Amino acid sequence: MKTYPLRTRFARDIVTEFRVPLRLSRRVIILCDGMPSVPSPSRLLDFFWKKGYWVFRLRYRGTWESGGRFLARSPHEDILAVIDGLRKSFVSIADKRKFTVTPEHIFIIGQSFGGTAAILSLLDARVDKVVALSPVVDWKAPSKVESLDWLYYFVREGFGEGYRFRFEDWRKLISGKFFNPQAHVRDIDGSKLMILHARDDNVVLFGPVKRFAQRVGCELMLLKRGGHAQSSWLLQKRIYRHVRGFLLHT
């Protein structure tokens, strides 16, 4: 019989889908979507659940079902709020079941904007490994097709109340100090980070990502083609084997 993800809230505001592993497990994966994106069913949620992980997929504060205001604080703090909540009892909203997780390993997987949040979560020692797909590593770096001004208009007009934010919060991205991995290159442990990026990505250009990877000393897996931040990359056997080895190697 087909089952569906459960839902809970962390820190009152953060609505999160999650899957309970079929067997006892202390390995946790937190999935971080891109922006803008639509909260449609996630293939990765089920994929990693079937591999034996607790899997959580959050909605950033101020987006979709979650409360709060988007970009009022750095979105990576939403990841940390989920981690805080794991050790407490959290409740499945539909059936009131209580769960408690004592993680042995916490892994974060994010794509594009979610990759940015995932990388910054490494500033917290509780995060063991991060896999970032086509992450924005520097908001001051140019994009061929998505300037911040264009993206502001597109998100505001195209997604309406799906993203609730103020113009002054959006403008913080331009400073290069807010929610920006480039500002933390000295603080990020590159041994905990793996980046996947395609050379033909015209949304987040390859050059700045390559330089960032070199500076932090992380693993960079390059794809000749693939465009921008495809979660389907991780479903490919060759890539999954490589990612799995990275996550589980201590």
- At 244, which CATH number? 3.40.50.1820
Residue 236 lies in a domain: yes
Contact in structure between 58 and 45 (CB atoms under 8 Å) = no
Q: How high is the pLDDT of residue 2?
A: 72
Q: How high is the pLDDT of residue 229?
A: 86
∠ Cα 9 137 62 (to 5°): 25
Residue 1 lies in a domain: no
Q: How high is the pLDDT of residue 250?
A: 67
Residue 191 lies in a domain: yes
Residue 94 lies in a domain: yes
Residue 112 lies in a domain: yes
Q: Say how many domains are in the chain.
A: 1
User: Domain range holding 32?
Assistant: 6-248
Please tell me the distance from the alpha carbon of residue 131 to that of residue 136, in angstroms, as a whole number.
13
Q: How high is the pLDDT of residue 149?
A: 94
The 8-class DSSP code of residue 178 comes to S
Residue 137 lies in a domain: yes
Q: How high is the pLDDT of residue 1?
A: 61
Over the stretch 185-212, which tens digit does the pLDDT of each residue have?
999 999 999 999 999 999 999 999 999 9
Q: Which residues of the chain have pLDDT under 70?
A: 1, 250
